[in-house]
Amino acid sequence: MALVQVVESELDNIHIALDQRSFVPYYEQIGAQLRNAIKANKLQAGKVLWSERELAEKLGISKLPVKRAYERLRAEGLLVTSRGKRPVIGTGGDPWDIQDLWSFSEELRRRGLPSTTHLLAIDLLDPLPDVARSLQLHPTDQVYCVKRLRFVEGSPVALETTHLPAKLFPKLETQDLERRSLYSIIEGVYGRRLGGGEDRISAVSAEHEEAHLLRVGVRYPLVTVQRVVYDVSGIPVESGLSLFRADRYTARISLRRPAVDSSTATFKP
């Protein structure tokens, strides 16, 4: 069996061996070995990895297979890449169950992950038109704009900007928005039971402010979650935008196949 092997002492003696006679593509061989090393904690989160060019040169192959392997690992949250910098080992995406209505701190507490919140600002403002529409506000209504930076295990994961109708939540600025869940405040302090909501998920590139706060490079991929939440009577109580680091967010969705009426189902070759 012909092998090309590389050992790098500063990377905890990680071995990458390519079987030149295998039908498995090089990028899959590279990705599998790095993935196994990360999950076995031989490559720990935060450790700097070889650049695409460095690993390709060490293996004596073109850069394309390494690039494809890194892209797959990045999509899994196991690798964090920024323009002009060597890649860094990630922690893997934290699976978020987007079918249930949880606040950030409630979701993390439910999964036993330590989380903290830093309140960046809380302001009483006239709402922008899109916020006013989503909250079904009158022209004279104001909103509280709450901006918070969320941490998981000491690392910044999400930047949240939340708007709430001031008439429904008077003196919101007196509440402890760093140590208490917003949803527990809405229900426990203001007596509004939450009924449900809607999330819209998309993606953007980090601008300078988001990149600085989330400790990523400019243009780093972020997952955006736009949320509107309603109380049990159908009144909108929250309109928010969350920006998640793409390496720390994985959506988990349970799928069910609907019943098909065989009497009306047809097949056309």
- Residue 116's alpha-carbon distances to 119, 154, 155, 178, 212, in angstroms, are 10, 8, 9, 7, 18
Instruction: Please tell me the total count of domains within the chain.
Output: 2
Q: Among 77, 10, 86, 84, which residue's Cα sits nearest to residue 45?
A: 77
- Domain membership of residue 267 (yes or no) is no
> Are 84 and 111 in the same domain?
no
pLDDT digits (tens, 9 = 90+) for 99-133: 555 666 766 666 566 778 999 999 999 999 999 99
pLDDT (tens digit per residue) in 59-93: 999 999 999 998 888 777 778 776 677 887 876 65
| β pairing state of 14-19 and 236-245 | unpaired
Domain containing residue 242: 94-252
Instruction: Say yes or no: 25 and 105 in one domain.
Output: no
Helix (H) or strand (E) run with residue 151 in it: strand 143-152
Neighbours of 153 (CB within 10 A): 13
d(CA 106, CA 187): 13
Residue 52 lies in a domain: yes
Beta bridge partners of 123: 145
Domain's final residue, options 89, 106, 125: 89
Q: Are 73 and 161 contained in the same domain?
A: no
144 lies in some domain: yes
154-163 pLDDT, tens digit each: 788 899 999 9
**Contact in structure between 169 and 235 (CB atoms under 8 Å):** no
Domain co-membership, 190 together with 141 = yes
Q: What is the CATH number of the domain that holds 63?
A: 1.10.10.10
Per residue in 46-65, pLDDT (tens digit) is 778 888 998 999 899 999 99
Residue 235 lies in a domain: yes
Q: Which two tokens stand for residue 167?
A: 């008439």
- In DSSP terms, which residues pair with 224 in a beta bridge? 202, 243
DSSP-derived pairing of the beta strands 94-97 and 249-252: parallel
